[in-house]
Structure 1
Amino acid sequence: MNQLLRFTTAGSVDDGKSTLIGRLLYDSKSIFEDQLEAVEASSQKRGFDYVDLSLLTDGLKSEREQGITIDVAYRYFATPKRKFIIADAPGHIQYTRNMVTGASTANLALILIDARKGLVEQTFRHSFIASLLKIPHIIVCVNKMDLVDYKQEVYDQIVEDYKSFSSKLEVSDIQFVPISALVGDNVVNRSEKMNWYQGATLLHMLESVHIESDHNHIDSRFPVQYVIRPQSIDHHDFRGYAGRVAGGIFRPGDDVLVMPSGFQSKVKNIFVGEDKVESAFAPMSVTMTLEDEIDISRGDIIAKINNHPQSDQDIDVMVCWMNQKPTAVNARLLVRHTNKEVKVVLKEIQYKLDINSLQRIENAEYLNMNDIARIRIRTAQALQYDSYRKNRITGSLILIDEQTNETVASGMIV
C-alpha cells in the first residue's frame, strides 16, 4: 500500500512556492491536459515567454489577480512510490494563522529560500512554526539557482547560515537541495547545471523520507468517537467503541483503563469493518470491544493501565489566535479536544512570542489575530491529554467562541 506523505510549503513572498508545486505536479505528470492548456493560454495572455506553473496552484481568483497566495490550498498528487497531499500555505505575516492550519497535520515542511536573498525574516518565522508544530522533517530548497549562475558558494553559504540558526530549533531531520523551480533543476529531474551537487532531487527526498516512526507507537491512546449498539437480533449484546487510534498498539487481551471514569477492563476484540484483527495502531480507524460492561461515552479515552494520559483542569497551552476579535484574560470559550467539548476560561496569558526575534513579550493583556502565545486555561471538567511533543493528537486542541461557534484559536498542550 502506498504511504501518504503530507507536506506543507513555506517561504517568503515571491520565493516561488506556487511555481515549485506547479513544477512538481507538471514534471511528475500529475496534471490534466486541459489544466496545462489553460495555464499556457493564461501565461501567453500575460505576455510571458514561458509557462507560468504557479497558475496551477493559486486557486482563488484574488490570488491570481494579485499574484500572491492567500488561503491554504490543498493539492493531491501521486507517484508509483507514494501519495502526497500538499498544503500550500501563504507567506505573508498576516496569514500566520493559515500557515499554522496548513502545517498542523504535516509530516514534512518544505522551506523555500531565494538564492539571491538568503535567509530572511520569513525563513526564521516559518522554520520556528514548523518546529513549534513538531513537524519532524524539513527540506530546505534553495530556489532560483538559475539567477545566481548555479554557483556552489552561494548554496553552501545559505546551508551554513541555516544550520547555525536551526540548531536552536527542535527538528531532528533537515535536508538541503539546490533547485530552480522555474526551469526544473533538481525538482523531479537531476540538473545538468549543478554537477557539484551529488545529493538527491527534491522528489526523491519526498519519496524516500522515513515517516513510519512519526506516529507515537509507544503510548497507547484510543479516543472514543462513537458507541455502537446495533440492538439487532444477531447482535443483541454487542457494545463496541469506534474511533481512531491516536497512539500506541492495542491487542486483544491488553489490560486497559477507561478515562476519566478510571474503570479497568481487557480488550476483547478489535474490528476493522466486520473483520477481526490482531492489533490496532495509529492512524487506524477501528471498533474495539471490552470484556466488561462499562459506561463509556464519546470523548472518553481508552489507554493501557500502566501508561495513560494526564488528567487535569488547569492546562498550559501554546496557542495561535486566529480570530479578528482580540481576547483577554477571563474570556469564556469552548475547548474541543479529541472528541470532547467542554467549557473553558482563559486564566492567564503567560507571554506572547515575537516570532521574528523569538523573544518573549511579558505582561500581555490581549491576544490579537496571528499572535502566538503561551496561556493557561481552566476547563469545566478535567481533560485527559498528553503534551503535544508526545502525541500530536491528544496534545492538540481548538478553542471555539460560544456565541458564534467560530474556531478562534488552535493550541498545543505544553
Structure 2
Amino acid sequence: MRTTTAEALSATTLLRFATAGSVDDGKSTLVGRLLHDSKSVLTDQLEAVERASASRGADAPDLALLTDGLRAEREQGITIDVAHRYFATARRRFILADTPGHVQYTRNMVTGASTAELTVILVDARNGVVEQTRRHTAIAALLRVPHVVLAVNKMDLVGYEESVFAAIAEEFTAYAGELGVPEITAIPISALAGDNVVEPSSNMDWYGGPTVLEHLETVSVGHDLAPGSARLPVQYVIRPRTAEHPDYRGYAGRIAAGTFRVGEEVTILPSGRTTKISGIDLLGEPVDVAWTTQSVTILLQDDVDVSRGDLIVPAEEAPALTQDVTATVCHVADQPLTVGHRVLLKHGTRTVKAIVKEIPSRLTLDDLTQHPEPGRLVANDIGRVKIRTAEPLPIDSYADSRRTGSFILIDPADGTTLTAGMAIREPGIRQPDML
C-alpha cells in the first residue's frame, strides 16, 4: 500500500534548532541555502527573492532574503527579529529559528534557543571566535541546549585551508567545554557557495564528517525531562454547561513534562489537594495516556478547586513550594535589573509579585570568571540572582526541567520582559554545572 506524504511526515521525528553568530557571519544565508538546496522553497518565494536580489544589483539570488523578511532587515543587511521557518526532508521535520547576530538583539537569541534541541553557531573563518561567539555559546550552555554545531563559514575566503578550520574548532571546543556543553560538532562550510551545507564539498576533501543537513537529519532527538516528573500547568478551566455534558469540568493546558494516565493519583499545587485523574481528552477524544507537549484536558475524580496558574503533578513527585528562588539569568531589557527591584515573576501559567533580594555575581564571558556583587545587571548580562516571591511557587530545577524550571521577570509598570531565568537548587541539593 502506498504511503501518503502526510503519513510519511507524521512518521518522522521533529527537530527544533536555532542559528546564532556574530553580525555578517552568514546565518541567514546558511538558512536560505538549507531551504533552497533541500528543495523546501516554493517557486513563488524563490522568484520573489530573485526579483529583490536583482533590484539590489546582485548577480545571483541572495538566499538570506528567504529569512530576513522585515523591511528594516533588508535595508540594513542584518537580522533583527527571530525568523521561524518550517521545512522537512524524507528523514525528519524541522522548526528552525534564525536569530540576530548584533549584540543589541542578543535577547532574541534567548527567545529563539529556549526551546531548541540543537544550536548552530556560525563563525567567520576570517575572524575566528569573537565576543558574540562566546556570548551565544554561553547562552546555549545556560539554556542547556543538548547539541551544539560549530559551523565555520566562509571557508572559500580563506582558501579552504584545513589549518584555519582546525584552529577555530580547537579554540571553540575548549571554551564550550568549560561551559559544560555536552556535545559539539564542528563543520567547515561556505553557505554562499553551498560547501558542506546540503552537499559534500569537493573543495575540502580533507574533511570527512557530515554536512550540516546530514547532521541535522541524524542527530539524536530526546526529551530533556524525566519521564516520571509529569507537569501540567493549568491554562484554562473548561465548563461547557451543555445538556449533553451538564457536569463537565476539565482543566486544559499543554503538558510541560512527563506522562499522565487515567486513574493516576495527582496533587494540585499550590493548594496541595490530592485526587485522581478520571479522564483525559485529546483533540476532543478520550485517551488513556498523554505525554509531553500534548495539549489536553484533564478531568479529576473529586470536585477540587483548580484554576489557571495551578500545577497538576503526580502525587508522589510533587515539587516543594518555595518563595526563595535562586537562578541564573540573562537580562534582556534596556532597563537595568537592580537589588530591590520589584517585579512580576511568570512561571508557567502563573504570575506573582516578587522582589530582587540579591545579585551575587555576573559572568565575565572572556575568561568565565565571576564578578562578585555587581549590584545590577544590564542588557545581555548573564548573572545569578536571588528572588523572593509574594506567594509560594512549585519551581523545578532547570537542570531537571527546561520548562518548569524556567521563568521570566516582568516590569509591573508596563509589562516589559526584563529577564529570562533558570532556577537553581540551593546548596545541599544537586546543582547544575553552569555558573
- The TM-score normalised by the length of structure 1 is 0.94
Report the equivalent of 1:325. 335
Give the match's secondary structure for 1:130.
helix
User: Residue 202 of structure 1: CA displacement?
Assistant: 0.8
> Are residues 246 and 402 of structure 1, via their aligned partners in 2, closer, same or farther at CA, if it must alter by over 3 Å?
same
User: Residue 121 of structure 1: CA displacement?
Assistant: 2.1
Report the equivalent of 2:19. 9
Aligned length: 414
Matches for 1:2-401 after TM superposition, within 5 Å: 2-401=12-411
Distance 1:178 1:41 in 2: 30
Deviates more, 1:194-203 or 1:128-137: 194-203
Contact 2:333 2:378 in 1 (8 A): yes
Contact 1:90 1:98 in 2 (8 A): yes
- The TM-score normalised by the length of structure 2 is 0.90
Distance 1:122 1:404 in 2: 30
Q: Which amino acid aligns with 1:139?
A: V
User: Residue 213 of structure 1: CA displacement?
Assistant: 3.0
Contact 2:129 2:168 in 1 (8 A): yes
**What does the per-residue CA deviation read over 1:132-185, in whole Å, with 9 as the maximum and x for residues that have no partner?**
011111111121122222233332332222222222122222222221101111
Distance 2:333 2:394 in 1: 26
> Are residues 49 and 274 of structure 1, via their aligned partners in 2, closer, same or farther at CA, if it must alter by over 3 Å?
closer
Distance 2:134 2:107 in 1: 16
Q: Of 416, 421, 426, which aligns to 1:411?
A: 421
Give the match's secondary structure for 2:96.
strand
Contact 2:13 2:93 in 1 (8 A): yes
Give the match's secondary structure for 1:325.
coil
Distance 1:277 1:225 in 2: 20
User: Residue 343 of structure 1: CA displacement?
Assistant: 0.9
> Are residues 356 and 58 of structure 1, via their aligned partners in 2, closer, same or farther at CA, if it must alter by over 3 Å?
farther
Unaligned runs of at least 5 residues, structure 2 = 1-9, 425-435
User: Residue 390 of structure 1: CA displacement?
Assistant: 0.9
Contact 2:337 2:418 in 1 (8 A): no
Distance 1:64 1:359 in 2: 38
Distance 1:130 1:404 in 2: 29
Distance 2:98 2:328 in 1: 23
Identity %: 52
Supply the RMSD in Å over aligned alpha carbons: 1.8
Q: Which amino acid aligns with 2:43?
A: E
Contact 1:266 1:292 in 2 (8 A): yes
Deviates more, 1:36-45 or 1:395-404: 36-45
Distance 1:199 1:287 in 2: 45
Distance 1:118 1:323 in 2: 28
Contact 2:224 2:400 in 1 (8 A): no
User: Residue 30 of structure 1: CA displacement?
Assistant: 1.9
**What does the per-residue CA deviation read over 1:321-362, in whole Å, with 9 as the maximum and x for residues that have no partner?**
222222322222211110111111111112222233322222
User: Residue 215 of structure 1: CA displacement?
Assistant: 4.1
User: Residue 93 of structure 1: CA displacement?
Assistant: 2.1
Give the match's secondary structure for 1:63.
helix
Deviates more, 1:232-241 or 1:370-379: 232-241
Contact 2:323 2:393 in 1 (8 A): yes
Distance 1:407 1:47 in 2: 40
